[in-house]
């Protein structure tokens, strides 16, 4: 492992660890998203806690955490494996943040940020699947899991490098794993729907 690769891995993890949901909530709205709705620090719960503007800020911040280190890695490192690894490090940082005692969010927006750099068509597929699913079932969790699952398929059929496809597979698996409580709530009929519990 080169020193440059190691530094980018560490940087990706550290940037991914920055909890934008908590920062936006506390600094702009005086609310900790962990005390609202599902208690998650990501975009869907930010919508409930802060409304659309706050949720948009969280979405952009969390996506940038994935996009920035991946973009830097793509321009400094030669091989697709290293680029995918740096992107995955950012997702791991979001999910298990060093600033939150190895707790964190579900990695959906950060995963999307990485995909935007790796493959814009695959990112578009994610967006299309997410929007269509959310419109039909009104569950952000289901939309996020199906959108994430569509990404490696899109990467494969685009003939992207194998490490990018494996990134998509691992990232999608992490998204599903991090949504295991949502799956339990879906089974119990108590999952939050999009547009519920939003602050006035």
- Tell me the pTM: 0.92
Residue ranges of the alpha helices (H) in 18-119?
20-24, 43-50, 52-76, 80-95, 108-118
Q: Could you tell me the residue ranges of all domains in the chain?
A: 3-188
Q: Provide the pLDDT confidence category of residue 45 given band limits of 50, 70 and 90.
A: confident
Burial label for 189, CB within 10 Å (0-12, 13-18, 19+), is: exposed
Higher pLDDT, 42 or 155: 155
97 DSSP assignment: B
Any bridge partners for residue 97, and if so which?
103
pLDDT in tens, 112-125: 999 999 999 999 99
- Rounded Cα–Cα distance for residues 47 and 187 (Å): 23
């Amino acid at each position: 492992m080169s020193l440059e690769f190691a530094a980018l891995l560490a940087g990706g993890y550290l940037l991914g660890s920055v909890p934008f949901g908590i920062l936006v909530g506390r600094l702009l709205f005086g609310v900790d998203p962990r005390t609202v709705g599902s208690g998650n620090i990501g975009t869907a719960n930010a919508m409930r806690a802060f409304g659309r503007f706050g949720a948009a800020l969280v979405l952009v911040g969390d996506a940038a955490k994935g996009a920035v280190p991946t973009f830097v890695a793509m321009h400094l490192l030669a091989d697709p494996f290293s680029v995918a690894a740096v992107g995955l490090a950012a997702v791991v940082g979001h999910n298990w943040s060093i600033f939150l005692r190895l707790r964190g969010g579900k990695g959906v927006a950060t995963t999307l940020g990485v995909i935007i750099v790796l493959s814009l068509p695959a990112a578009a597929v994610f967006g299309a699947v997410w929007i269509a699913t959310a419109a039909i079932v009104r569950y952000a969790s289901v939309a996020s899991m199906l959108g994430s699952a569509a990404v490696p398929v899109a990467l494969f059929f685009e003939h992207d490098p194998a490490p990018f496809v494996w990134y998509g597979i691992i990232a999608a698996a992490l998204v599903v794993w991090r949504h295991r409580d949502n799956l339990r709530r879906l089974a119990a009929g108590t999952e939050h729907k999009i547009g519920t519990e939003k602050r006035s």
